[in-house]
Amino acid sequence: MSRPTPRWRVLGLALATTTLLTLGAKAPDRLHLVILYPGGPSVEGEGAKLIEQFSTTLAEMTGLSSASLKGVYFNQLEPAEKYLATHRDAYIMGSLGFYLSRRAQLDLIPLARLMLSSAVEDRYFLMVRKGRYSSLDQLKGKSVTGSVLADDPRFLSRLVFEGKLDVNDHFTLKPTSRPLSAVRKVSRDKVDAVLLNNMQHSSLKALPVADELEVLHRSPGLPPLGLMMVDTPKTRMHKETVVKAVSAMCDTEKGKPICTSFGFAGFAPLRPDDLATVVATYDKQ
């Protein structure tokens, strides 16, 4: 019998599989929905049904036609930035790290936070083989893997590791799009540590390999930013409609099972002031 795919893997594949809203014929007045998952999987077929259901439900709730909203997926930062440079009327499903590092450059406005199924806040966990290391200092120059390493290095250094180290200087980074494989490599002594986000860490508990690993560093709780927009007249025009639809979707009969399958409980509106503390920590000289 094949082992069921972990929920966080299904989420990543689902986001990678297709666009969030159905593409229509080319329209002159088009909005863009950019799904950005640094370190995520490339386009694959798994999860297509779930994302199609999500897309259809959200499209119905916004009232936007398929011809007026185009969705695209990126698993790397550079091509996403190039796309947004020429398609500025965009809403973005992306990470807190992306917002902090590109908010001034792209005129980003946070709109909604993810409501995680397993926690109120997001956290990051640096996992090592049990008994192998007892401090971050002992990992100096050692190999660290994980899909979240594709995120902004300053965000990882300042927020995830609380300014205790610079990830590029302290570790030998080995980003991967396969977190489960990365966990197994740590258990087999092929790499020294793996960095997981909250969803990945929660999924790890159900695996036999979990008993072989322990947490060496746990980040503070961080707001799980889920939706933001590039500030333009067109995105401002539709902002309330989009935020209202996203916030209500997981409470609907059609939307709730989809969100549960993705591993989050819903979205909640977010104001720029809600991120003031993490912005100050990120910007601190």
Q: CATH number for the domain including 196?
A: 3.40.190.10
For residue 29, the model assigns a pLDDT of 66
**Same-domain pairing of 49 and 19:** yes
Domain boundary among 218, 248, 264: 218
For residue 52, the model assigns a pLDDT of 59
Q: Are 21 and 66 in contact (CB under 8 A)?
A: yes
What are the two backbone dihedrals, phi and then psi, of residue 272, each rounded to the nearest 5 degrees? -55, -35
**Same-domain pairing of 70 and 96:** yes
**Same-domain pairing of 143 and 103:** no
Number of domains in the chain: 2
Tokens (6 digits) for 106: 């792209």
**Same-domain pairing of 206 and 257:** no
Give the residue from 96, 142, 124 showing the smallest Cα distance to 195: 124
**Same-domain pairing of 108 and 136:** no
> What is the rounded CA–CA span in Å between residue 133 and residue 196?
17
The parent domain of residue 177 ranges over: 124-218
Evaluate whether residue 1 is within a structural domain. Answer: no
Residue pLDDT, tens place only, 114-132: 887 666 788 999 999 999 9
Which regions in the chain score pLDDT beneath 50?
A: 1-5, 7-28, 45-48
**Same-domain pairing of 213 and 239:** no
Evaluate whether residue 2 is within a structural domain. Answer: no
Domain with residue 100: its CATH number is 3.40.190.180
**Same-domain pairing of 270 and 213:** no
Tokens 């409501």, residue located: 115
**Same-domain pairing of 91 and 106:** yes
Residue pLDDT, tens place only, 202-219: 888 878 888 999 999 999
**Same-domain pairing of 101 and 240:** yes
**Same-domain pairing of 35 and 132:** no
> What is the rounded CA–CA span in Å between residue 128 and residue 1?
29
Domain boundary among 218, 237, 257: 218
**Same-domain pairing of 111 and 233:** yes
What are the two backbone dihedrals, phi and then psi, of residue 31, each rounded to the nearest 5 degrees? -95, 160
For residue 55, the model assigns a pLDDT of 64
Residue 21 in 3-state DSSP? Answer: coil
**Same-domain pairing of 35 and 138:** no
Domain boundary among 218, 234, 268: 218
Residue pLDDT, tens place only, 71-115: 777 878 889 999 999 999 998 988 999 999 999 999 999 999 988
